[in-house]
Structure 1
């Protein structure tokens, strides 16, 4: 499976992450545990899931708005950092817990989450296509 496919699969599975417990489970390898603001519990409460890579062990992504944040410091407050970088995230403005949502409210939230997902994947595909066009153009110019 390619890196893009792994990312797409992970992002699509985020529909299960409305649950605080499911988000918390993703932080089993989180580098910050005690004596800090960005504990797994606080990260999960702020809507984040842990999405580490080989080079970046502290990448966290909001399951809803898909904002990825890295370079966490022990004094970083997850809710504040999320709000600062993604002020329009609907998860941050939910007035109810997931369990209290009506079916209609859930489907409206999920529709917007999928719209965000499709937009993000579209931007990734366009960027990959541009990279391929640039590489092909470079190779063609080298032949001339």
Structure 2
């Protein structure tokens, strides 16, 4: 249960922090350590314009592992990409790999030019994506915990009572 609460808290913090990423300048600031800076399509400026933020180690579950320096995530649809090469176009890669259409990619005008109503519609969509992905993550963790608990119980009964599960009995 503690794991689930940590995941919910983490998702909540990300959701509120990413709200600040509507600003190009805030997205650009995240690319201070971006490895591809010159003579390429995926410069920090182009990455930020395409809605990405730099988040090294985002795909690494264990911080002790080697750093993955080229992980970028869309602040809006949460599409996470790594393995960037100098000829990769951030807009094209983003649109090819977004599972659904990203609301940020489909904007027909600059964020600063949105009406209040348009902004709130966009924000509602962004929050819905965050909640869906956070819920999927919590459900996945819960399913793994259920499977591990089931295995521990079966192992306990097999050891203690020489119990053989129905699935392992000969036909």
Q: Distance in 2 between matches of 1:126 and 1:37?
A: 38
User: Structure 1: which 5+ residue stretches go unaligned?
Assistant: none
Say if 2:67 is the partner of 1:63: no
Say if 2:135 is the partner of 1:135: no
Say if 2:49 is the partner of 1:48: no
Which residue number corresponds to residue 63 of structure 2?
none
Computing the radius of gyration over CA atoms, which structure comes out larger, 1 or 2?
A: 2
Give the TM-score of the pair, scaled to structure 2.
0.78
| Runs of 4+ with >3 A deviation | 2-8
Q: Distance in 2 between matches of 1:32 and 1:4?
A: 33
Which residue number corresponds to residue 116 of structure 2?
103
> Paired residue for 1:18, among 15, 19, 22?
22
Aligned positions, number:
144
Q: CA RMSD in A?
A: 1.8
| Mapping of residues 17-36 of structure 1, within 5 Å | 17-36=21-40
Q: Distance in 1 between matches of 2:50 and 2:26?
A: 13
Instruction: Pick which of 61-70 and 87-96 moved more.
Output: 87-96
User: Structure 2: which 5+ residue stretches go unaligned?
Assistant: 1-5, 58-65, 158-171
Query: Is the partner of 1:93 in helix, strand or coil?
Result: coil
Say if 2:84 is the partner of 1:80: no
Deviations 1:99-144 (A, max 9, x none): 1000000000001100111101000100110111111112112212
